Structure 1
Amino acid sequence: MVTVIIPAAGQGKRMMRGGNKVFLPLVDMPVLLHSVLTFSACSEVDNLVVVVASDEVVQVQTMLCNLTGIKPWKVVAGGSERQHSIANAIKVVPSTTKTILVHDGARPLITEECITNVIKASVVHKAAIVAVAVKNTIKTVDEDGWVTDTLERRKLWSVQTPQGFDAHLLRKAYEQAEKDQFVGTDDASLVERLGVRVKIVCGCYDNLKVTTPEDLTIAEALLKERKSMVESKGCDNNEMMRVGMGYDVHKLVKNRKLILGGVEIPYELGLDGHSDADVLLHAIKDALLGAAALGDIGRHFPDTDIQYKGVSSLFLLKRVGEIIAEHGYLVHNLDATIVAQRPKVAMYIPEMNCNIAAALGLKIGQVNVKATTTEGLGFAGKGEGIAAYAVASILQVE
């Protein structure tokens, strides 16, 4: 059994609207109800616990009573801190619950796909959180406004919700936090204090938290775009799927950076090539172009052209996506495999998925990168080079 706790007791002072921001209208319903309906639509979810301020309990109960098609629910009063609110909710979670998810009521753009991924990861790893790779350089600053350090961006992730946990583990984490009088910034921080490792589940950049008026405007635009896409797909009977395959290989040499999936990977060798030699993205681009019968990357970005010397393959991947769109196609999904004996790249795959999805305007679930070795056989097994295979499917829209 999976129970979802939705904390929504915040005052939303930065929204500058007065009152709880989760009651603000967003497209066709209050912010809070978008999350309630999405979780209710997820087959893996069994029930909901919504946490609001004590003087808002009746209001939310009335809202939920008037909402059809939602999972069994309870509404409880929150506390002075988010952590206290969730502690109140945990007390009413059914004893039969095996997995507890916690999701901010002010994140209305969560998807069923993301929810399912978190639940699966929570079952396997006991603790899992949604996050996206940080795009900007992050610096630490002292009280006087001086930079003290520049953090390594590839290791930084912006944490979102839902966060999922084994129910027994989360209860234990909250009990220990209360005993120690510790207040964390999120639920995972309480679990981490117990020495439990937390697994990252790659999320979506549009899973934003509505905090300021600008966030509400962005959320409205994104929801309208989703609705428009669903309606247009529902009316279009002329879509045809096409499939393409890509393969590429590059030699490992000294004095080159190793770039895979747009991620710089620490290693004493790098891939040799005219551009940044990102063998994974080269295979993906060829697969996409092949699916559309538009040749290969050599035709569009020849290595004899000086403008492509050292160019980012992520930049070229974005351009391939534009070429695909110009010819009337939509990218449906990508599956790719990196073939390398060393270095080990598994820990970088979530960031690769994020980079590829962002370049092509896809959801994370439409991109799947894997890695394998050759058990020491061949050029890859000997560490002489790295290869990549990719399969892409696209939709032709007439």
Structure 2
Amino acid sequence: MSDESHASPQSTAPHLTAAVIPAAGRGVRLGPGAPKALRALSGLPMLIHAVRAMAASRGVSLVVVVAPPDGAVEVKNLLDEHALPETTDYVVVPGGDTRQESVRAGLDALPPGITEVLVHDAARPLVPVDTVDAVIEAVRGGAPAVVPALPLADTVKQVEPATESGAPEPVVATPERALLRAVQTPQGFDLATLIRAHEQVALNGEGATDDAGMVEQLGVQVVVVPGHEEAFKVTRPLDLVLAEAVLARRRANDGF
């Protein structure tokens, strides 16, 4: 491992799971300022909460944080300042211009011996450890790709996108809500399957927003396990208010 890693004893288990956290995005919907992953949440950068959420699982032996290209040193210093469990190593690598490139940079940093990988959004800092464990268990049980997800509370409409911003959009279909799920992270994969997806699936524009979607394009089945309402994505300022409320409740109820 590179000199940017924090050493700890290696697990002797036949399965070794690493978590890759792409955190190179700017998070423009949260407004100007620090990158989204470095925004403060209860006095700590959101990224620290996300890393701790992965490290809380005894199944995760390594966390790879993919930092903004010009912020790897800053992120490494942040991780050094906030202790993780002794059973969890961490390493920081610079990311790319797209999420797909950043995830691939994280995969390239994995040492030999890793058998499964989780890909987790830094913007989902409050995912409970039970959800992380459920994803790992499903992958180790033989599923090549696993996503946590929740049933939808709202009816969904498929529309024909408007050519002008704010213009009315005609509805073209109403999918059956019972068949739809809102996907969360961490998404879990057999490592070889995810590497093959990144090698074979070409994506344009902003790259992949969902690694499971890349695996689907290989013709490999993706399965769903129950997600959790606290694994929501912090995207807008109101989400930060909700995240602070969740942390306050955890502190009051569990001494979190």
The verdict on a shared fold, with TM-score over 0.5 as the criterion, is yes
2:187 alignment partner AA: Q
Secondary structure of residue in 1 paired with 2:25: coil
Partner of residue 266, structure 1: none
Deviation per CA, 1:162-218, whole angstroms, max 9, x where unpaired? 0000011111111102xx355433100111111111110111122111111011111
1:54 match: secondary structure: coil
* Matches for 1:112-261 after TM superposition, within 5 Å: 112-124=129-141, 125-144=143-162, 145-177=169-201, 180-181=202-203, 183-231=207-255
- How many residue pairs match? The answer is 230
- Which SS does the other structure have where 1:216 is aligned? helix
Cα deviations by residue, 1:8-41 (Å, 9 ceiling, x for unpaired): 1111100013220111111131111011112222
Q: Give the distance between the partners of 1:122 and 1:148, measured in 2 at CA.
A: 37
Q: Does 1:39 align with 2:54?
A: yes
**Is 1:95 the counterpart of 2:112 in the alignment?**
yes
**Corresponding residue SS for 1:129:** strand
Cross-structure match for 1:69: 84
Quick one: distance in 1 between partners of 2:90 and 2:106?
11
Q: Distance in 2 between matches of 1:116 and 1:207?
A: 14
Farther off after superposition, 82-91 or 22-31: 22-31
Q: Which runs of 4+ in 1 moved over 2 A?
A: 180-185
In structure 2, C-alpha distance between the alignment counterparts of 1:184 and 1:81, rounded to whole Å = 8
Bigger strand share: 1
- Of structures 1 and 2, the one with the larger relative CO (CA 8 A, separation 6+) is 2
For structure 2, list consecutive stretches of 5 or more residues without a partner in the other structure: 1-15, 163-168
Task: State the partner residue of 2:41.
Answer: 26
* Equivalent residue letter for 2:244: E
Once residues 102 and 176 of structure 1 are traced to their aligned partners in structure 2, the CA distance between those partners, rounded to angstroms, is 18
Displacement of 1:146: 1.1
Aligned partner of 2:124 in structure 1 is 107
Cα distance, 1:53 vs structure 2? 0.9
Give the match's secondary structure for 1:69. Answer: coil
Aligned-pair RMSD on alpha carbons?
Answer: 1.4
Change (3 A) 1:4 1:134: same
Q: Does 1:56 pair with 2:56?
A: no
TM-score, normalised via structure 1 length: 0.56
1:14 aligns with 29
CA deviation vs aligned residue, 1:356-376 (integer Å, no higher than 9, x gap): xxxxxxxxxxxxxxxxxxxxx
Distance 1:162 1:102 in 2: 5
- The within-5 A match list for 1:200-349 is 200-231=224-255
Q: AA paired with 1:176?
A: Q
The CA distance in 1 between the partners of 2:160 and 2:144, in whole Å, is 36
